[in-house]
């Protein structure tokens, strides 16, 4: 009984740790200041799809992507091996995504890098934590609560955790050429991150964005 009580406290603590106002863990650096989009650049389409409200990046509107363009510790972003943590909340029937190894582009779905899915009740069967079109997840998490997506890239291995639960674990094959129609979906195609605003019916909130570069 005591062990169950302690486990419950740990879960409650992890939930309370997520969301606006949370502080980065040791070794992580925040790349969103909670006030505005300093260091971030919107694609040149439907730019009103991204707003900062109450310490949160809100994605709601027609397709747009928000790219981290830096700087990071005085230099241009160069996130190849890293840990990225983002606190996320989805509203009902919402779809979004977190890109890594991507690069800024003015319009369209990002050609470079991978998308970690953000979707718990949208009609698309590919759910939160999956590597979109590479290693998809069918099991949703909850809407209207904060959860943490934790992406780790080391060498050719990619792991994705949602609130500490491993959802994806994928290693890029040596002969990888990307899925059909997505040749740029490969490690090393870019070196930064992006958030997705998917459609006007979707509302996704991102905050407490922190990253820890890993030594090769």
- Which tokens is 198 given? 């998917």
| Beta partners for residue 151, in sequence order | 84, 160
Query: If pLDDT is split at 50, 70 and 90, which confidence band does 1 have?
Result: very low
Query: If pLDDT is split at 50, 70 and 90, which confidence band does 21 have?
Result: confident
Tell me the pLDDT tens digit for each residue of 185-207. 999 999 999 999 999 999 999 99
pTM, rounded to two decimals:
0.91
- Estimate to the nearest angstrom the gap between the alpha carbon of 3 and the chain centroid: 33
**Residue 69 and residue 39 in contact, taking contact as beta carbons nearer than 8 Å:** yes
**Residue 106 and residue 44 in contact, taking contact as beta carbons nearer than 8 Å:** yes
What pLDDT, on the 0 to 100 scale, is given for residue 7?
40
Stretch (H or E) spanning 12 = helix 2-17
> For residue 82, which of 185, 164, 151 has the smallest C-alpha distance?
151
| Beta partners for residue 66, in sequence order | 42, 195
What pLDDT, on the 0 to 100 scale, is given for residue 183?
93
Pick the CATH number of 2-213 from 3.40.605.10, 2.60.120.560, 2.60.40.1180, 3.40.50.11540: 2.60.120.560
Mean pLDDT across the stretch 104-127? 98
Burial (CB count <10 Å: 0-12, 13-18, 19+), residue 78: exposed
Stretch (H or E) spanning 10 = helix 2-17
What is the Cα Rg of the chain in Å? 17
What distance in Å separates the CA atoms of residue 45 and residue 106, rounded to the nearest whole number? 7
């Amino acid at each position: 009984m005591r062990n169950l009580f302690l486990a419950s406290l740990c879960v409650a603590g992890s939930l309370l740790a997520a969301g606006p106002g949370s502080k980065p863990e040791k070794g992580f650096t925040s790349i969103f200041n909670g006030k505005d989009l300093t260091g971030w650049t919107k694609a040149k389409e439907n730019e009103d799809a991204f707003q900062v409200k109450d310490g949160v990046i809100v994605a709601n509107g027609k397709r747009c992507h928000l790219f981290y363009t830096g700087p990071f510790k005085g230099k241009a972003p160069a996130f190849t091996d890293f840990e990225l943590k983002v606190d996320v909340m989805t509203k009902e029937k919402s779809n979004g995504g977190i890109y890594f190894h991507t690069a800024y582009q003015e319009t369209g779905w990002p050609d470079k890098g991978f998308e970690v899915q953000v979707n718990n009740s949208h009609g698309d069967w590919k759910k939160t934590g999956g590597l979109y079109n590479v290693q998809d997840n069918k099991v949703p998490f909850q809407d209207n609560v904060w959860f943490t997506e934790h992406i780790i890239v080391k060498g050719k291995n990619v792991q994705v955790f949602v609130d500490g639960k491993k959802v994806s674990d994928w290693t890029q094959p040596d002969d990888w050429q990307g899925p059909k129609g997505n040749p740029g979906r490969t490690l090393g195609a870019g070196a930064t991150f992006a958030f997705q605003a998917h459609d006007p019916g979707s509302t996704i909130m991102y905050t407490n964005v922190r990253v820890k570069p890993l030594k090769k």
